[in-house]
Structure 1
Amino acid sequence: MALNTVPRKVGVLGYGRLGQSLVSHLLTQGPELGLELVFVWNRDPGRMAGSVPPTLQLQNLAALGERHPDLVVEVAHPKIIHESGAEILRYANLLSLRVTMATHPDGFRLEGPLATAHSTGPRTVLYEGPVRGLCPLAPRNSNTMAAAALAAPSLGFDRVIGVLVADFSLKDMHVVDVELSGPPGPKGRSFAVHTHRENPSEPGAVTGSATITTFWRSLLGCCHLPSKPGIHLC
């Protein structure tokens, strides 16, 4: 069933594993759902050759307004939003989605001092501290933590603690644990929640297998929301 009588125009930034999956879904299922793919942009345009129709390849990110998108999905790198987010929001809503994990060291894409960090045993904590300090060092592996900081404004990026773990036993899996503790009550007991997620993945992959489906469902969920301009976190 179509989401609207008028097709919603979607642009995709990034053509890695997630971008390729979203583009494939939009081309094959988009029309029946009321979604029209209007452009695909990638830092290396050659990666789109032979799989993205030339008319949909956006060579210059600054020209995205000419495609009149309603929604832009970023599945490239956080610095794209840092550099071009304000410009994108002049023309369309923005959907930013990523996943963080504890996994085999080959599954990390680290920057700065963490890029040269080495595991000292079967399971090594590479970072433990405020999320604010981790995000610039692990932009592709800290987004669940960043989302938690945004969802808990009373704590924010300085009081939500992020822990990044390299575990050689997790060769085909990304694991996320979230622990939440409330303040002690009158009898000294605290409310606590602990969630544990295991996402199968290819060895060395940044993106877990279940994440592919999650991104597509998030895009559809975003299109079901009332049309309000801005950034959508799903």
Structure 2
Amino acid sequence: MAVDRVPRRVGVVGYGRLGQSLVSHLLTQGPELGLELAFVWNRDPGRMAGNVPLPLQLQDLNALGERRPDLVVEVAHPQIIHDSGAHILRHASLLVGSPSALADPATEHQLREASHRWGHAVFVARGALWGSEDITRLDAAGGLQSLRVTMATHPDGFRLEGPLAAASRTGPRTVLYEGPVRGLCPWAPRNSNTMAAAALAAPSLGFDHVVGVLVADDSLPDMHVVEVELSGPLGPSGRSFAVRTRRENPAERGAVTGSATVTAFWRSVLGCCQLPSKPGIHLC
């Protein structure tokens, strides 16, 4: 995939499964694509020891400006976006890997304001959301009436908080949540990112009107299943336009991120490096 040959310095925030994959790609494939790894930051620096060259390890996230990044990729936790998103945008464009953070209106406002103030873009990784461009086109044309995203996996694949962490299961398949995506994101910050991306892809509905459904399913020990259902206006025959997709993403048991999502995220990074740094929030 061809990218601008002007060197682009990319910083990575987070060194879990996604972060490790991105760092590996940037070190091995980055130079031939005109990309350079500027730094890697992780909440636990010890995790980088022996894996990330010491000169590339960033100990203080507040000092990221010293590394002169063009793009900072967050693959850590929504809290990083809450706490440091606006600061990052002062120095570079930002690729948000935890879009559930934008369910908080104050955080979304801060990012938009910082983006326009400093002239840097906020990119949002589409992750496991299939058909995001089609959703956006339909929404822009005024033809999107409803959007529902269901994510089902084995209970071991969830990282839940608050009331959802204590929710009782009623059988081998239990609906843990069904309602507005905005209400789900605070309690399932790592398991609602696909739904958050859908809310951003359909601004006419947004976080308050895109429906998110989270399902614990014992029959899915090695897979994440994402179903997207949308409807449009009534046609001449009195029937509504409708689309339903089902994405089956292989995953290790207990993994929050599926295998195909790791690959998709690298493509998002490359996509960001092809796009102009226009202020605002953009799916990538």
State TM-score, norm by structure 2.
0.79
Give the letter aligned to residue 37 of structure 2: L
**In structure 1, how many angstroms separate the alpha carbons of the residues matched to 2:280 and 2:95?**
9
**In structure 1, how many angstroms separate the alpha carbons of the residues matched to 2:281 and 2:230?**
26
Name the residue aligned to 1:137. Answer: 187
Deviations along 1:88-114, whole A, 9 cap, x unmatched? Answer: 001111111355631000001111111
Name the residue aligned to 1:12. Answer: 12
Structure 1 residue matching 2:95: 3-state secondary structure: strand
CA distance 1:132–1:151, shift in 2 (3 Å): same
Relative to structure 2, which stretch is displaced further, 1-10 or 159-168?
Answer: 1-10
Name the residue aligned to 1:80. Answer: 80
CA distance 1:220–1:85, shift in 2 (3 Å): same
Name the residue aligned to 1:161. Answer: 211
**In structure 1, how many angstroms separate the alpha carbons of the residues matched to 2:281 and 2:87?**
12
Relative to structure 2, which stretch is displaced further, 79-88 or 1-10?
Answer: 1-10
Checking the alignment, whether the CA contact within 8 Å between 2:4 and 2:273 is kept in structure 1 is: no
Give the letter aligned to residue 46 of structure 1: G
Checking the alignment, whether the CA contact within 8 Å between 2:11 and 2:73 is kept in structure 1 is: yes
Structure 1 residue matching 2:233: 3-state secondary structure: coil
1:23-172 to 2 correspondences below 5 Å: 23-97=23-97, 99=127, 101-172=151-222
**In structure 1, how many angstroms separate the alpha carbons of the residues matched to 2:38 and 2:249?**
31
**In structure 2, how many angstroms separate the alpha carbons of the residues matched to 1:176 and 1:89?**
31
Name the residue aligned to 2:115. Answer: none
**In structure 1, how many angstroms separate the alpha carbons of the residues matched to 2:214 and 2:277?**
36
Give the letter aligned to residue 127 of structure 1: Y
CA distance 1:160–1:231, shift in 2 (3 Å): closer
CA distance 1:60–1:230, shift in 2 (3 Å): farther
For the pair 1:207 / 2:260, whether they are aligned, the reply is no
Name the residue aligned to 1:224. Answer: 274
**In structure 2, how many angstroms separate the alpha carbons of the residues matched to 1:171 and 1:91?**
41
Q: CA deviation at 1:76?
A: 0.3
Q: CA deviation at 1:187?
A: 3.3
Structure 1 residue matching 2:240: 3-state secondary structure: coil
Checking the alignment, whether the CA contact within 8 Å between 1:93 and 1:232 is kept in structure 2 is: no
State TM-score, norm by structure 1.
0.95
For the pair 1:189 / 2:239, whether they are aligned, the reply is yes
Structure 2 residue matching 1:90: 3-state secondary structure: helix
Deviations along 1:46-66, whole A, 9 cap, x unmatched? Answer: 100000011111110000011
CA distance 1:3–1:187, shift in 2 (3 Å): closer
**In structure 2, how many angstroms separate the alpha carbons of the residues matched to 1:2 and 1:179?**
34
**In structure 2, how many angstroms separate the alpha carbons of the residues matched to 1:209 and 1:156?**
27
Structure 2 residue matching 1:119: 3-state secondary structure: coil
**In structure 1, how many angstroms separate the alpha carbons of the residues matched to 2:280 and 2:31?**
24
Structure 2 residue matching 1:73: 3-state secondary structure: strand
> Tell me, which stretches of 5 or more residues in structure 1 are unaligned?
none
Q: CA deviation at 1:161?
A: 0.7
The root-mean-square deviation of aligned C-alpha atoms, in Å, is: 1.5
**In structure 2, how many angstroms separate the alpha carbons of the residues matched to 1:153 and 1:140?**
21
